[in-house]
Amino acid sequence: MICVSLPFLDAKIIGALVRKGYLIELRLDLINDKSEYSNIISRYKNLIVTYRGYNVRNKEDYFIDAMIASVRYIDLDIFEDGKLIDIFKEYTKAHNTNLILSYHNFSYTNTRRELVNIIRHALKKGADLVKVVTKVNETEDVSRILSLYEVESKKLIAFGMGEIGKITRIAAPFLGAPFMYTSYAVNLTTADGQIDYQTYEEMMISLKKYL
């Protein structure tokens, strides 16, 4: 499955993408005008609601509204307050929403042992899905990231940021990642090294012909 990460809210665009089978990530931390939010989460369920940053006013309310609306996923940083994660886990169980716990390192790729410990920590906290994203600075980082699927292949989305890291975005679904994040357009990326969804889909279709 392909996830289209959006730094804007547009019910018409989101509706069209959902009807075509795409999963949509709403990056609320990048969206200034949230006036369409309630309408969107009430109409469409194949969504990931993400709100990066700490001590953000009303952030919890956006997540609670999403869970009550039974969107497919909410995405919390693994270092969020433990009590908040526990509370949200109860909400997700009650409203058929899945909890993604995410780890990001925007500077480098951690050691394999550190990354494995992060995955285990997230699963212990009750994550339905663990997202591990690190900056790829050299080719050795690529193999380290992809090797994580040997540890957990069903509940993991692990890939790298940056130009060198693009290959991990392509390889991850073949190793077990349930979906991959893409951008809506080349000039609307929400992460370094993100590929637009149309190009990504074309690449995946081509690759599957040879597998």
- 113 pLDDT band, cuts 50/70/90, is very high
Residue % of the chain over a pLDDT of 90? 93
* Locus of tokens 């990056």: 27
Listed by start position, the domains of the chain span 2-208
Q: What is the pLDDT of residues 26-83, one digit of tens each?
A: 999 999 999 999 999 999 999 999 999 887 788 999 999 999 999 999 999 999 988 9
Q: 138-145: long-range contacts (C-beta < 8 A, 24 or more apart)?
A: 138/164, 139/164, 141/108, 141/109, 141/165, 142/167, 142/168, 144/109, 144/111, 144/112, 144/115, 145/109, 145/115
Q: Is residue 103 scored above 90 in pLDDT?
A: yes
Q: Is residue 108 scored above 90 in pLDDT?
A: yes
Assign domain 2-208 to its CATH architecture.
Answer: Alpha-Beta Barrel (3.20)
Show Cβ contacts of residue 159 under 8 Å, excluding neighbours closer than 6 positions. 132, 133, 145, 165, 168, 169, 172, 177, 180, 181
- Rounded Cα gap, residues 119 and 113, in angstroms: 10
- pLDDT attached to residue 130: 99
- Rounded Cα gap, residues 86 and 38, in angstroms: 24
Q: What is the pLDDT of residues 167-177, one digit of tens each?
A: 999 999 999 99
Averaged confidence pLDDT in the chain: 96
